[in-house]
Structure 1
């Protein structure tokens, strides 16, 4: 399991973490998360140098050098991060795929809490078959085919809990911190619960990313 120590400000980082999780592989997700945090560090450095004291209206040579370095670093990291991750995710439709996986995740979690341990994959009675029928009835593209939903779930089942928790928090008017805590509750449920006819958990813990808030560490 890959552990992420959540950085603040949460309202900014939640969006970046979610975009990072749309990367197609675990290695790329880790790199994207590191990129998001590097961008935050550069922004904080930039903010610190902006507050440097002025002397007779002019920064000293050392202060100006620090200011220029911070601006350059921020610009470079922002360009790489924004273009390589956000633009790529939008272009490839990965964020939409992740959203479908989050929806599957929420349905499984709802079933667990209701004591209904419905399987994910059964062709006629599984969660994927149920959701694909609902999405087809609503005319929603990308989720009408059960096999397509299966691909989304297998690609993102280890990370879908994060966005699922944020969605629950947003729907209930809660804070991003509450959303992260809910996401952890979902993650734990998926790693410890299984369908009624299957001894394996819904999601192996080894595949999961754990987002840890310092306040609850």
Structure 2
């Protein structure tokens, strides 16, 4: 299992990390996560422009100025990578991730209800998602083989988007997205369909987000 440390500024930009997770391989996702970390830094630099301290009676520290200069090339390259990731996300990857998250939500509901439904069995979770996709005309989820491949591709990373949706739908509960995501991640890796000994999602396929405050 890959563990990604998230700091305070990054925790306020989780939609960027969900975009990174929409890449189709583990290596591509970890590379995209690194790009998103640079993007968060670039967004933050808008609040601390070089020389801004002069107008407010202060000044930037020499260490900060040096760090900005030394990492400017990395941020420039990351900006180009970000554009490519965003294009893939908008043209195809977001749709695939949305579909996988819908499957994940139904798996999670089955776990919470202690039903532990199978994915591939007749009347199982994938079949139900297919029926809904046909009714609503959702591309990429109406063919059972395509749907199965999409789930396999993204099952290790669906928990972040699922948690974001849950917290958005339950704003009054004071929930923290990363805490909910970790709860879902553990549930998917520890629960398994009836009559099987294999979990819904192997933890070796998963990416876990660990929040560490920098305050």
User: Which TM-score band applies after superposition, normalised by the shorter structure?
Assistant: 0.7 to 0.9
| Residue of structure 2 aligned with 1:140, choices 138, 150, 175 | 138
Structure 1 residue 180: Cα displacement: 1.9
1:183 paired to 2:181: yes
Q: 1:68 to 1:139 in 2, by over 3 A?
A: closer
Q: For residues 77 and 8 of structure 1, what CA distance do their matches in structure 2 show?
A: 24
Q: How does 1:1-150 map to 2 (within 5 A)?
A: 1-10=1-10, 12-45=12-45, 47-50=47-50, 52-54=52-54, 69=69, 73=73, 76-77=76-77, 79-91=79-91, 93-122=92-121, 124-150=122-148
Q: Deviations over 1:116-169 (max 9, x none)?
A: 1101112x2221011101221222222222222111100000001110111111
Note the aligned Cα RMSD (angstroms): 3.0
Structure 1 residue 95: Cα displacement: 1.0
Structure 1 residue 175: Cα displacement: 8.6
> In the alignment, which residue of structure 2 is the partner of 1:158?
156
* Structure 1 contact 7–13 (Cα < 8 Å) conserved: no
Q: How does 1:193-208 map to 2 (within 5 A)?
A: 193-208=191-206
Q: For residues 71 and 46 of structure 1, what CA distance do their matches in structure 2 show?
A: 15
For structure 2, the 5+ residue unaligned runs are: none
Structure 1 residue 42: Cα displacement: 3.6
For structure 1, the 5+ residue unaligned runs are: none
* Structure 2 contact 35–82 (Cα < 8 Å) conserved: no
Structure 1 residue 11: Cα displacement: 6.3
Structure 1 residue 181: Cα displacement: 1.4
Q: 1:174 to 1:188 in 2, by over 3 A?
A: farther
Q: For residues 2 and 67 of structure 1, what CA distance do their matches in structure 2 show?
A: 28
Structure 1 residue 77: Cα displacement: 4.5
Could you tell me the TM-score, scaled by structure 1's length? 0.83
Q: 1:71 to 1:155 in 2, by over 3 A?
A: closer
* Structure 1 contact 102–161 (Cα < 8 Å) conserved: yes
